[in-house]
Amino acid sequence: MHGADFFYQALIYLTAAVVSVPIAKRLGLGSVLGYLLAGVAIGPFALGLVGEDGQDVLHFAEFGVVLMLFLIGLELEPSRVWRLRTPILGLGGLQVGVTTAVLAGIGLALDLDWRTALAVGVILALSSTAIVLQTLNEKGLMGTHGGQSSFAVLLFQDIAVIPILALLPLLSLGGGSIVESADEHDSSWVAGLSGWAETLVVLGAVLVIVLAGRYLLQPAFRAIARTGLRELFTAAALLLVIATAMLMTKVGVSPALGTFLAGMVLARSEYRHELESNIDPFKGLLLGLFFISIGASIDFGLIVGSPTLIFGLMVVLIVAKLAVLLVLVRVFKMSLDQGLLFAFSLAQGGEFAFVLLSFAVRYDVVDPTLAGTLIATVALTMAATPILMLLNEKVVQPRFGTLERGGRQADEIDRQHKVIIAGFGSFGSIVGRLLRANGVEATVLDYDSDRVDLLRKLGLQVFYGDACRLDLLHAAGAAEARLLVAALDTGEKNHELVATVRKHFPQVTILARAQDRGAAYEILDEGVEHVFREKLDSSLRLGVEALRLLGFRAYQAHRAAQTFRRHDERAVRELAAMRHDRTLYLSEARQRIEDLEELLQGDLADPDEMRDAGWDPDSLRQEYGGK
Amino acid sequence: MQKILVIVAHPALERSRINRRMAAAAEELEGVTLHDLYEAYPDFDVDVGREQQLLKAHDLLVLQHPFFWYSVPPLLKQWIDLVLEHGWAYGSEGKALVGKRVLSAISTGGREDAFRRGGHNRFTMRELLAPIEQTFVLCGMDYLAPFCVHGAHGMRREQIDRHAAAYGRALEALRDERLDLEAAMRRPRLDDGLDELIRPPAGQS
List, in order of start, the domains of chain A with CATH numbers.
4-174+193-400 (1.20.1530.20), 419-615 (3.40.50.720)
CB contact under 8 A, B82 and A623: no
Report pLDDT digits (tens) over A412-454.
333 445 899 999 888 998 998 888 888 888 888 887 777 877 7
Q: Do A619 and B82 touch (CB under 8 A)?
A: no
Whether A190 and A198 have beta carbons less than 8 Å apart is answered as yes
What pLDDT sits at residue A588?
A: 57
Predicted pLDDT of residue B96: 96
Block means of pLDDT (10 residues each) for chain B, 205 residues, are: 96 90 95 95 91 96 96 96 94 94 95 91 95 97 96 89 95 95 92 91 66
The pLDDT tens digits for B110-156 are 899 999 999 999 999 999 999 999 999 999 999 999 999 999 888 89
Is residue A346 within 8 Å of A392, Cβ to Cβ?
no
Tell whether the torsion through CA atoms of A238, A244, A245 and A250 is positive or negative.
positive
**Distance from C-alpha of A411 to C-alpha of A264, rounded to nearest angstrom:** 39
Q: Using CA atoms, how far apart are residues A227 and A229, in angstroms rounded to an integer? A: 5
What pLDDT is recorded for position A80? 72
Tell whether pTM > 0.80: no
**Element (DSSP H or E) covering residue A371:** helix A368-391
**Which residue ranges form the domains of chain B, and what is each CATH number?**
4-197 (3.40.50.360)
Per CB-CB distance under 8 Å, the chain A contacts of B83 are: 614
Name the residue of chain A whose CA is nearest to B43's CA. A562
* DSSP one-letter string for A248-315: HHHTTS-HHHHHHHHHHHGGGSTTHHHHHHHHHHHHHHHHHHHHHHHHHH--HHHHHHSHHHHHHHHH
The CA distance from B158 to B162, in Å, is: 6
Q: Name A364's Cβ contacts closer than 8 Å, sequence gap at least 6.
A: A172, A173, A174, A178, A179
Total residues belonging to chain B:
205
Pairing relation of β-strands B4-8 and B60-66?
Answer: parallel
Backbone angles phi, psi at B143, to 5 degrees: -100, 115
The span from the first CA to the last CA of chain B, in angstroms, equals: 19
Contact criterion met (CB below 8 Å) for B26 and B171 = yes
A414 interfacial to chain B (CB closer than 8 Å): no
Rounded to the nearest angstrom, the minimum Cα separation between A541 and chain B is 15
Count other Cβ atoms within 10 Å, centred on residue A476.
Answer: 26
The whole-angstrom separation of Cα A455 and Cα A243 is 48
**Distance in Å from the first CA to the final CA of chain A:** 92
Contacts of B152 (CB under 8 A, 6+ apart): B17, B18, B66, B107, B108, B109
pLDDT at A376: 84
Nearest Cα residue to A460 out of A419, A489, A399, A511:
A419
Q: Is B86 on the interface with A (CB under 8 A)?
A: yes
**What is the model's pLDDT at position A591?**
63
A615 contacts B82? CB cut-off 8 A: yes
Given this model, what pLDDT does residue B26 score? 96
A613 vs B85: CB contact, 8 Å cut-off? Answer: yes
Identify which of A566, A612, A623 has the shortest CB distance to residue B92: A623
- Are B86 and A623 inside 8 Å of each other by CB? yes
Residues of chain A with pLDDT under 50: 1, 176-186, 403-416, 584-585
